[in-house]
Amino acid sequence: MTQPPNGSPDRRSFVRTAAAGVVAAAATGCHLADKLGDRIREFKAAREPLPPGPPTFSQYHLPGWDWTRVDRVLVLPLLNESAYTRADEEVRRALTSELQQLGRFEVIAAPPDDQGRLSQAVHRSGRFDEALLLEIGRSARADVVVAATITHYSPYPRPRLGLVVQAVAPLRAKVAASVDGLWDTADQRIADRVRAYYRQRPKERPNWVVRNHVIASDDGFTEQLALESPALFQRFVCHEAALALLGLPVPGVATEIDGGLAGTDCQQ
């Protein structure tokens, strides 16, 4: 086959086309590299710890109360003030699970037919029957009885859950600690904390956790599903409530030193 001479129009057209292709490929490569670099930076930034923000819940701790002396905790059926009939049992399972995962004490659940008598009395009147409390504590050999109330609940995007958790010491007939808050993901601070919580990967837990292991999903979409899934959202809320109940740091929430939470004077 006869080749066109070096200076022919066909030869020059071929060279120009090839040069244009090289330039386009280089430009495309630079564009892809820039996009990849942006994604890597976004990935790294998303996994940085959230800067502490103002608290979205209140908490109380009885002066002098020492959680290290607690060996057994009883979680009562929740009082459900929302319109969702199964929310009480779902949230109680999540709260019990999160308290167990702290690894500090044994956690047991009261029979479901208790109907949340103590939870109702403590929440609605601010008082409780000391004799009933002592009876419940002795029968379960519990150092602490946890009574909780669901004040608001909506499982639909964006989900919200209002929760009041009170830890009562039967022998002292006093509320040892309490947490009261509304976790509403319409608040961007809370939505960010939900996503950050489910971005965690398997890693060693802090040294105050006795059972120092964790099984975490490696599903990159879990952080988004958490804002759609009632079970994942309930777990997140109960995780923060459990930490706050014991006066432990809550990721993404300012501590007392930072000018945030007040009343965190329980002994660690």
CA 15 to chain centre: 61
Using alpha carbons, select from 56, 37, 51 the residue that is nearest to residue 187: 56
Q: Please say whether the structural domain 57-245 has been given the CATH code 3.40.50.10610.
A: yes
Burial label, 220 (beta-carbon count in 10 A; 0-12, 13-18, 19+) = exposed
**pLDDT in the model for residue 163:** 96
Prior bond to 201 cis, omega within 30? no
- C-alpha 207/C-alpha 219 separation (Å) is 26
DSSP three-state, residue 137: helix
Tell whether the model's pLDDT for residue 213 goes beyond 50: no
Query: Which H or E run includes 180?
Result: strand 174-184
Contact 239, 253 (CB under 8 A): no
**pLDDT in the model for residue 215:** 45
Residue 127, C-beta contacts closer than 8 angstroms, at least 6 positions apart: 121
Q: Which residues lie across from 61 on neighbouring strands? A: 177
* Residue of higher predicted confidence among 209 and 226: 226
* Cα–Cα separations (whole angstroms), residue 52 to 55, 167, 189, 248, 264: 9, 26, 10, 14, 16
Q: How many residues does the chain have?
A: 268
Rounded to the nearest integer, the mean pLDDT of the chain is 76
Tell whether the model's pLDDT for residue 9 goes beyond 80: no
Q: What is the pTM of this model?
A: 0.70
Q: How would you classify the pairing of strands 106-109 and 79-80?
A: unpaired
Contact 87, 80 (CB under 8 A): yes
* Residue of higher predicted confidence among 254 and 250: 250
Give alpha helix (H) positions in the chain. 9-46, 87-101, 117-125, 130-140, 188-198, 222-225, 230-245
